[in-house]
Amino acid sequence: MEFVEVVKRRRTTNGPFRPDPVSPEHQRLLVELAGMAPSHFNSQPWRFVLCDDPEIIAKVADLSGESMTRLLEEGTFWQRYRPYFRFSEQEMEERRDGIYFDQLPAALKPFSKYIFSGTGQAIMNKFGVPQTLGKDNHKLVAGSPLLLAVLLDKTEYKPGQLSGFYSVFGMGAAMQNIWLATVELGMGLQFVSTPMEIPENWAKMQALFEVPDDLELMAVYRLGYVPETTKRPTIDWSSRQRKRLSQYVFRNTCATPEADPAGS
């Protein structure tokens, strides 16, 4: 595939994967490509765990689903991420970022007006919305043939210091290599992020992957081959909208936004 096409087609996969295992060749190719990423002084601070052990995947799925339910039930999720939700096409068209509310799950639509109020929270809980979405999340993770844990070497990853920033930057580049490679391989990838939001559940994830003291568990992803057709998932995190050039690029100095190409 043409490189530009690969970059344009990279997506977050919110739906289920095919049940087929990810071939050992593809697994190795993904991490080899990750290792080609740039890093400060070629320190290569990233580490990866390729996990295709069904028992561990099942335990991660339990933690992920349970975390999702808890975050929604307690309202933490809505409070934390409210700034990213857009409520009208007009707002979306103006800002061109965030997640358009229309793309939220059908189960939540009747409550959309109330979602950010105490009443809305109570209604959603009464109708078992957190359980439904937790179950969906559990199913997606449990049905993934491969998990990928990304870790950083703590001798490099020192939050608040430049080497901490550099390490995160390099890890992002390594992950982007993997993300782009999935396009070429007919695969998909999604963050398994809910356990990260609850410190005790993140500690359980570290225990599951047997993370030693000198490494920091940074993120976990689920991967697999993408089916030809998929139903829209209950929670659609992915958003295709992108800002116009004039909204994020400047010419020469920050005082002059780049002109948008005609017709954009």
Ligand X SMILES: Cc1cc2nc3c(=O)[nH]c(=O)nc-3n(C[C@H](O)[C@H](O)[C@H](O)COP(=O)(O)O)c2cc1C
Enumerate binding residues for ligand X (CB under 6 A).
11-12, 14, 190-191, 193, 237-239
Find the shortest distance in angstroms from Cβ 12 to ligand X: 4
Closer to ligand X by CB, 51 or 220: give it: 220
Find the shortest distance in angstroms from Cβ 255 to ligand X: 29
Closer to ligand X by CB, 193 or 247: give it: 193
Find the shortest distance in angstroms from Cβ 253 to ligand X: 28
3-state secondary structure the chain: CCHHHHHHHCCCCCCCCCCCCCCHHHHHHHHHHHCCCCCHHHCCCEEEEEECCHHHHHHHHHHHHHHHHHHHHHCHHHHHHHHHEECCHHHHHHHCCCEEHHHCCHHHHHHHHHCCCHHHHHHHHHCCHHHHHHHHHHHHHHCCCEEEEEEEECCCCCCCCHHHHHHHHHHHHHHHHHHHHHHHCCEEEEECCHHHHCHHHHHHHHHHCCCCCCEEEEEEEEEEECCCCCCCCCCCCCCCCCCCHHHHCECCCCCCECCCCCCC
Closer to ligand X by CB, 77 or 225: give it: 77
Nearest residue to ligand X by CB is 193
Find the shortest distance in angstroms from Cβ 190 to ligand X: 5
Closer to ligand X by CB, 28 or 242: give it: 242
